[in-house]
Amino acid sequence: MGPEELAIITNPQFINATFSAGENWYHNLVAQVQRTEALARRRNEFEVANTELVRVNRQLVSGVQEQNLRWKRHAETIVHQFNERVAQDERLYTELLADYQNTLAARQKNGRELREMTALCSEKDASISQLQADLAGVRGSLGATQDALAHERQSLASVRDESSRTQSALQAVQGDRDRLQDGLKQAEGAVSALEASQREAALVTQAVEAAGMTVMYVTAQAMEAWAGQGKPSMLDNLMTSHFKAGGQPMTMREYLWFATLIKEMKSRSIPDRLIVERCPVDGIAASNGIAASNGIEDFLARDVAISEKKKDAADGRDIYVGWFVVDGVCHPFGAESKRNCMRMMAGFVGEMAAKHAAHEKQYPELAELSPYWFSGIYTTPDIELLMSNKDIDPDRIDVFFERAIQAYMRDPNVKISAFTVPGQTLVVGGYSQTLFAAISDDGNAFSAIVSTDEDGAQAWLADHIANEVGPSLGKPGLSIEEARTLMKTDACPTPVVDVLLLTVSDGIEMRLKVANIGAAA
């Protein structure tokens, strides 16, 4: 490419004019429909969400109010009964006191009469004895009266204890009301956070769709310009001014996608952290805060420079693939690097542990029987390290990963029966946003290939089983169904012979989207 063509392609006016034309074309095409549908959809969603929130709040407040009223009525009843009992005790005490005073007066009178009778006539011993007997009876009655008074005092103490318990119950009800109010506040906070996350996800989706349309238009314009000049496409030429995360090479096609996506996301005021997640390019990857914002601005403002070197045909068409066999089901994962693939697989184990913890909390007795595919799993320090973004020595990461997973396979309650350390695999086929993994694994040896076409992956697996696995088992031309039966052993009760949808990382997903947009253009 000569300097004139390069100047045309890298001229900011040309780029800005091209981007502006794409944006005008796209926005004029879908702006009115998007606004109408988005407003109606958001209005309905917010009305439904607000109605549900009001209903839940009313139910919670009504329940708390009813409970408070019941406890209040119960407390008032107890206090009323206590007051009646105290009034009754006071009446009994007054009556007993009057009887005691009467008895005491009678005893004093009898004493005076006795002294008078003794002074008057000592010969009336019989009468004196009778009076003494009467006095003994009065003393017995007085003792009984004192016992009754002590019993009533004990009853009064019991009533006071019951009143104390009632007050404690009222305090407990108030504590429950406070906890319910705290729970309501936490629920409102969770709903707000969820609504914010949904709004951000909707904005990201809009930005991705808008960027896709813009890039397709810009790419078509560039292809027409190159064709008109009789020059080959430069979309697969490597950039010398911009790179992907970690210094990986970036093509012009990828630069157009990332630059457009970043502009669309910035125009919608999407937080920088989401831009960093979606756009793994140099200067902003693994950044946050001011560093991420500065890196984004630098990426957009940096002068564009394109080399004459084309991207290697095999570059970007390889992937690291690993899998688990859990309760007889194979779960394959794919990522752009071994470390990221291990992080995805460790994250899958972490999800199993979270499901098991929730089941154990809700059904503790049933959880002990380990009935589900995620049963028995707990996160270990090794799994937590693999789930994190911390670096691990590349020379020992395979051994570290094997040791972390083998710890689960020694537990009889865990349903993980097999796994494979992530290995590099070539992606075959055309352009697609979906990848399929064809896997043959008998527990001792495995083979795998990743294809963009499910039928192509199925054909490769059938050919591999017939021409490689079959002869090794003494049965050339072996079918897939026959291989599943013959490969099953005590050591490997669930061999994997299947074509499965591959769960891919965000980086691979973005790479597939960029390649697909370029192919569509």
On the question of pLDDT at 128 being above 80, the answer is no
Reported for 411-417, long-range contacts at CB under 8 A and 24+ positions apart, including other chains, are 411/376, 413/370, 413/375, 413/376, 414/375, 414/376, 414/377, 415/326, 415/327, 415/370, 415/372, 415/373, 415/374, 415/375, 415/376, 416/324, 416/325, 416/326, 417/325, 417/326, 417/327, 417/328, 417/493, 417/494
β-partners of residue 349 are none
On the question of pLDDT at 169 being above 90, the answer is no
Q: What is the pLDDT of residue 384?
A: 92
Cβ burial, residue 479 (10 Å; 0-12/13-18/19+): middle
Q: What is the pLDDT of residue 344?
A: 93
| DSSP result, 11-68 | -HHHHHHHHHHHHHHHHHHHHHHHHHHHHHHHHHHHHHHHHHHHHHHHHHHHHHHHHH
Residue 150: inside a domain: no
Q: Tokens 């891919």 — which residue?
A: 504
Residues 6+ apart with CB under 8 A from 170: 71, 75
Higher-confidence position of 337 and 233: 337
On the question of pLDDT at 168 being above 90, the answer is no
Hey, is 476 helix, strand or coil? coil
Residue 111: inside a domain: no
- Provide the token pair at 16: 């800005």
User: 292, 275 in Cβ contact below 8 A?
Assistant: yes
Q: Which range among 45-54, 154-163, 226-235, 354-363 shows the weakest confidence by mean pLDDT?
A: 154-163
On the question of pLDDT at 515 being above 70, the answer is no
The Cα diameter of the chain in Å comes to: 161
Q: How far apart are CA 521 and CA 252, in angstroms?
A: 14
For the chain, what percent of residues have pLDDT higher than 70? 89
Average pLDDT over residues 220-227: 79
Q: How far apart are CA 483 and CA 485, in angstroms?
A: 5
Average pLDDT over residues 12-31: 78
Tell how strand 416-428 and strand 446-451 pair up.
Answer: parallel
Residue 1: inside a domain: no
Predicted confidence band at 316 (pLDDT cuts at 50, 70, 90)?
very low
Average pLDDT over residues 506-513: 75
**Per-residue pLDDT reduced to its tens digit, 189-203:** 656 766 777 788 788
What are φ and ψ of residue 242, in 5° steps? -135, 145
Average pLDDT over residues 308-334: 79
Predicted confidence band at 250 (pLDDT cuts at 50, 70, 90)?
confident
Higher-confidence position of 467 and 30: 467
**Per-residue pLDDT reduced to its tens digit, 322-360:** 999 998 899 999 998 899 999 999 999 999 999 888 888
On the question of pLDDT at 109 being above 50, the answer is yes
Residue 187: inside a domain: no
Q: Tokens 């096609």 — which residue?
A: 253
On the question of pLDDT at 289 being above 60, the answer is no
Residues 6+ apart with CB under 8 A from 416: 324, 325, 326, 405, 408, 409
Average pLDDT over residues 193-219: 79
Q: How many independent structural domains does the chain possess?
A: 1
Residue 136: inside a domain: no
Q: What is the pLDDT of residue 374?
A: 85
Higher-confidence position of 364 and 84: 84
Q: What is the pLDDT of residue 314?
A: 43
Question: Which residue range is the domain that position 490 belongs to?
Answer: 318-519
DSSP state, residue 236? T
On the question of pLDDT at 28 being above 90, the answer is no
Tell me which residue of 369, 366, 333, 328 sits closest to 351, measured CA to CA. 333
Average pLDDT over residues 166-176: 73
**Per-residue pLDDT reduced to its tens digit, 361-393:** 888 877 777 788 888 888 999 999 999 888 888
Residue 296: inside a domain: no
Q: What is the pLDDT of residue 166?
A: 72
Q: What is the pLDDT of residue 315?
A: 45
Average pLDDT over residues 168-186: 70
The angle formed by the CA atoms of residues 121, 122 and 128, to the nearest 5 degrees, is 100
User: 53, 191 in Cβ contact below 8 A?
Assistant: yes
Residue 288: inside a domain: no
Q: How far apart are CA 47 and CA 294, in angstroms?
A: 39
Residue 3: inside a domain: no
Average pLDDT over residues 253-267: 84
Q: How far apart are CA 503 and CA 160, in angstroms?
A: 69
